[in-house]
Amino acid sequence: MTNLSELKQTGKSLGEQAHEAIRDSVITLRLVPGEMVYENQLAATYGISRTPVREAIRKLAVEELIDVLPQRGTRIAHISERKLKDAAFVRSSLEMSAFRSVAKEWSETSESCRRLKQQVQLNLAEQHKAQNNPKVFLQLDEAFHRLILQQLGNDTLLNVVLQMRGHLNRIRYLALEQLHDMERLVNEHEALFAAVTRNDDIAVAQILSGHLNKMHNDLPALKQRFADYFKP
Amino acid sequence: MTNLSELKQTGKSLGEQAHEAIRDSVITLRLVPGEMVYENQLAATYGISRTPVREAIRKLAVEELIDVLPQRGTRIAHISERKLKDAAFVRSSLEMSAFRSVAKEWSETSESCRRLKQQVQLNLAEQHKAQNNPKVFLQLDEAFHRLILQQLGNDTLLNVVLQMRGHLNRIRYLALEQLHDMERLVNEHEALFAAVTRNDDIAVAQILSGHLNKMHNDLPALKQRFADYFKP
DNA sequence: ATTACTATACTTGTATACAAGTATACGAAC
DNA sequence: GTTCGTATACTTGTATACAAGTATAGTAAT
């Protein structure tokens, strides 16, 4: 696991570092849904005091990744179908608007568009190479969406999408080994970006709409297999 | 202003109460953009210690309503045109999706739809009566949008919209006295809801799209008049 | 006068001490 | 055996003490 000295690296405050560390642990399921954790325990784990740990926990509670039970402890949030559905709706709405907007304003003469195109093409090439490595592929998938969202220049939107993806990614990590159809996902990514570069925002909406709904297929099976992780 | 004992009321923790109190002060401009505040000072104001004040401040910093300058103090965030633009985009995208979805699933036979209809009609009647009271009208306006958003049953989306509105409302409070065209806004609200109740999601999108862009008209004038409040 | 240095009085960041609420184990009463 | 009450060992909530960074005022050197 993560020990104390691992945190002492950067210029960030202990609170921020604890936040990132705990958040990552929750999303990648190293801290399993439903598990109880305690401020003292986490503080000891990271070799820091309760204060920065509390700060981290409060932020994660706002995100609904953990539940604070007053005077009783802190629980890693169960995976909630309701929350998944809601987060998917928000993410979909925002990515749809964002991608369409980027498509509408795409121009090969724009410097930023050209730079983006290079990065995306690099990313897509790596996606092809990572077909047999689900974890790497998942990160490249994330990076692809992020690259295009960044082109919009709306950090607020980007942060909301990333927050939603925190919840959605928990089930993707749950289904890591079952991550199949990677080839189809790459193809969709390529079709999506092609539509962007020819200013075809209608096609973008069409492709993206189908693309984002892929994940829900495995849900029933996952819910059965990892019943303890889900909200009753 | 708010004193200490005002906080001791409810079952909520001091941290939550401080968060609500400070947040409200920021949005209603009692704490003016650009002003420096200090944890000790706020703690003294509310008659509590620094700990719950810090908790509140961290949450507000995530929302970008305040800036924490390490070892220097805390600044009430300037009004940023960039942030306004970004927040408006996010809000618009989400309300558009939400309203359209509510319109598509509207049914007069549904119990929840009938209940909502009653509440909305009551709200619209009050909007008519509040034509000469901008502050009340603003709250009714908020309530109208909130009522319909709640019908979607997506708390996550609602919370994101409310967060965006925190930023957008600061300029509405700035322009309180100039809040004109209230009659037109009511009419738009009525047209909007009428479109919802006849399942006309296309009209909903059309009306809402124009409706949400109204606020930006006054911006240049406000920026000139309250230059200190804006980011340079 | 200007510059460079230093002391100082702030600030937030972090650790720790204390208050208060919750669940449980245990035992007495019945 | 069951129930009730109580002590106890936890937890988070809050207050305070201490550490460390920042800006500034003042002073000495030039």
What are the pLDDT digits (tens) for A107-152?
Answer: 999 999 999 999 999 999 999 999 888 889 999 999 999 999 999 9
The rounded distance, in Å, linking the Cα atoms of A60 and A166 is 11
Reported in sequence order, the residue ranges of B3-162 that DSSP labels E, i.e. its strands, are 36-37, 66-69, 73-76
DSSP 8-class letter at B181: -
Judged by CB atoms closer than 8 Å, whether chains meet at B13 and A70 is answered as yes
**What would the two tokens of residue B157 be?**
């989306």
Could you please state the CATH topology (level 3) that the domain comprising B13-76 is classified under.
Arc Repressor Mutant, subunit A (1.10.10)
Task: Give the pLDDT mean for A66-79.
Answer: 96
In words, the CATH class of domain A5-76 is mainly alpha
| Domain ranges across chain B | 13-76, 81-229
What's the confidence (pLDDT) of residue B9? 55
The 3 state secondary structure assigned to A157-226 is HHHHHHHHHHHHHHHHHHCCCCCCCHHHHHHHHHHHHHHHHCCCHHHHHHHHHHHHCHHHHHHHHHHHHC
For residues A105-131, one letter each, b for 16 or more C-beta atoms within 10 angstroms of the residue's C-beta and e for the rest, the string is ebeeeeeebeebbeebeebbebbeebe
| Residues forming a β-bridge with A66 | A76
Is the CB of B71 less than 7 A from some atom of nucleic acid strand C?
Answer: yes
Is it the case that residue A216 has pLDDT exceeding 60? yes
Alpha carbon distance A85, A80 (integer Å): 9
Of the partner residues A55, A58, A156, the one whose CB lies closest to the CB of residue B90 = A156
- Residue B213: band (very low, low, confident or very high) from pLDDT cuts 50, 70, 90: confident
The mean-pLDDT minimum among A74-88, B147-161, B214-228 falls in B214-228
Q: How many CB pairs under 8 A join A and B?
A: 69
Q: Is A70 on the interface with B (CB under 8 A)?
A: yes
Place of tokens 């999506």: A192
Q: What dotted CATH number matches A81-229? A: 1.20.120.530
Rounded mean pLDDT of chain B? Answer: 91
Centroid of chain to Cα A56: 18
Contact A87 B58 (CB under 8 A): no
Strands A66-69 and A73-76 come out as antiparallel
Among partner residues A58, A70, A90, which is closest to B55 by beta-carbon distance? A58
What's the rounded Cα separation, in Å, for the pair A105 and A100?
9
Instruction: For residue range A156-193, list pLDDT tens digits in order.
Output: 999 999 999 999 999 999 988 777 778 888 999 999 99
